[in-house]
Amino acid sequence: MLSGNSIIRVLFDLSIVPHALGGVSRYLLSVAGALMEVADRFGIDFIPLDIPAAHPGVPGPEMDCMILETPFYLKIPYFRRIPIRKRWEKRSRAKRLCAYAGGKSIFHHSGVQPEYPAGSISVITVYDLSALEYPQWHTKETILFAEKEARLIESGSSVMAISEWTKQRVMEYFGLPPERVFCAGGAADSIFSPGSPKAAVMEANDLEPGGYLLHVGNFVPRKNIPFLLDVYRRSRDNGVDIPIVFVGAGGWGDVKIDKGPGVRLLRNIPDRTVVELYRGARALLCPSRFEGLGLPILEAFACGTPVISSNVTALLDTVGNNGILLDPCDHQAWVREITALEEPERVAELRDLSSAADRKNWNDIAGGICRFYRKISGL
């Protein structure tokens, strides 16, 4: 039995979720949900936290969170312009958070805001370093967030990386020792599982089971979507006569989906529908040029969906031997593999590879994170 002095309070900041697109928000909410289930076993008082002032005018995460109340002066018409200009709320945020921290505490940043209670141990989740290494792919806001994260790391924050590849990049980029960086890994939610797609979902989207290609991810430059559209069109010239479905929540960088022949676009659809799309897809295509993990690949594996992916960054490890790995600039190779999916035997072969992938669950991931919390707290 752990004594009261051995209990660690963890404030897990979810304020980035309202800003985040796709995989980042899904990752955070999955981790937070699993931590709520397992934290007690590790002597951790786990508290998901939302700071509404960090996302003004945007609804908070769909999770029961402790709320850092917005100061009254920001609610007074006209007068509120003064504290906003003078940044009173941000300057007082760390002090106000102290009321929630308790004794031995860890503040786990989501990345959208750097303030944390004095005396708490700071941990930050790092998904990848693309905004620092390839700023041309990002908006001013995402670069700003990345620079805030970098300052936290440089000032002593520990790091929870979402993959072994990201862990190694963080250590190299910032010159950190291994004890400062932990690899949490990722998982597919339990709803992602093999099965036949529901007829209602197929009919609603005018799709046939096994009769379409799938891309899941937001419409941002590093996803290499213009390349994918080009190889899809070349594949149609080769006789591939099935649609390609793009599923995403939004994006930036002037990435447009040209709805040419066979191209379908589905935005902001719920996970229960995404599951059916995985189950019905002939293959998931992921030609991304940079990924910190590749959550859609884990979800596709969990559904037994064949995967054709880039052979770069974290995707090499995430896909491993359970899918096809290709150069994200090699048009001919992608056209060749997409065309080969016209053969049922090839699809069955890739489905077997995908189904054989090892599967973790989020509680496994959360257990590792709890052990990391205890390690860095010295308890």
Quick check: is 68 in a domain?
Answer: yes
Q: Determine, yes or no, domain membership for 111.
A: yes
Is the entire prediction scored with pTM above 0.75? yes
Whether residues 365 and 334 share a domain: the answer is no
Mean pLDDT score, 63-90: 86
Same domain, 264 and 316: yes
**154 and 253 inside one domain:** no
Same domain, 148 and 203: no
Nearest to 247 by CA among 273, 221, 279: 273
For 276-293, the pLDDT digits (tens) are 999 999 999 999 999 999
Q: Which pLDDT does position 92 carry in this prediction? A: 92
Cβ burial of 183 (10 Å; 0-12, 13-18, 19+) is middle
Residues 255 and 17: their CA atoms lie apart, in Å, by 22
Going by pLDDT thresholds of 50, 70 and 90, the confidence category of residue 1 is: very low
- With a cut of 70, say whether residue 254 has pLDDT above it: no
User: What percent of the chain shows pLDDT beyond 90?
Assistant: 76
With 80 as the cut, is the pLDDT of residue 4 above it? no
Q: 3-class SS at 333?
A: helix
**Residues 62, 114: one domain?**
yes
- What is the pLDDT at residue 349? 98
Q: 94: burial class by Cβ within 10 Å (0-12, 13-18, 19+)?
A: middle
On whether the CB atoms of residues 329 and 227 are closer than 8 A, the answer is yes
- Name the residue among 218, 222, 216 with its Cα closest to residue 245: 216
* Contact assessment for residue 202 and residue 209, using Cβ atoms and an 8 Å cutoff: yes
* Same domain? 165 vs 250: no
Decide: 220 and 260 in contact? Cβ < 8 Å.
Answer: no
Pair 368, 274 in one domain? no
Asked if the structure places residue 345 within a domain, the reply is: yes
Residues with Cβ < 8 Å from 5, sequence gap 6 or more?
A: 103, 104
| Residue 193 forms part of a structural domain | no
Domain presence at residue 125: yes
Kindly state whether residue 192 falls inside one of the protein's structural domains. no
- In this predicted structure, what is the pLDDT of residue 352? 98
Domain range for 167 is 4-187+361-377
Six-digit token string for 326:
């290709």
Task: Please give the tally of structural domains in the chain.
Answer: 2
CA neighbor of 283 nearest in space, from 258, 263, 260, 300: 300
DSSP 137: G
* Per-residue pLDDT tens over the stretch 26-73: 899 999 999 999 999 999 999 999 999 888 888 888 889 999 998 888
**What are the strands, taking DSSP E only, across 197-277?**
213-216, 244-248, 263-267
The whole-number pLDDT of residue 195 equals 96
- Distance between CA atoms of 358 and 187, rounded to whole angstroms? 10
Q: Choose among 317, 313, 4: nearest CA to 128.
A: 313
Distance CA 185, CA 226 (A): 29
Query: What are residue 316's phi and psi, to 5 degrees?
Result: -55, -45
pLDDT given at position 55 = 87
Average predicted confidence (pLDDT) for the chain: 92
**CATH code of 158's domain:** 3.40.50.2000
Q: Are 282 and 312 contacting, i.e. CB atoms less than 8 angstroms apart?
A: no
Beta strand pairing call for 244-248 and 263-267: parallel
In this prediction, residues 239-260 reach a mean pLDDT of: 82
CA distance 107 to 356: 37
Determine which helix (DSSP H) or strand (DSSP E) holds 161, and give its type and residue range.
Answer: strand 158-161
Rg (CA), the chain: 22
Least confident of 3-7, 70-74, 261-265: 3-7
Partners of 267 in the β-ladder? 248
Q: What tens digit of pLDDT does each residue of 105-146 get?
A: 999 997 767 899 999 999 999 999 999 999 999 999 889 989
Distance CA 368, CA 34 (A): 11
For residue 303, being part of any structural domain is answered with: yes
pLDDT band at 6 (very low <50, low <70, confident <90, very high): confident
- The answer to whether 285 and 247 are in contact (CB under 8 A) is no
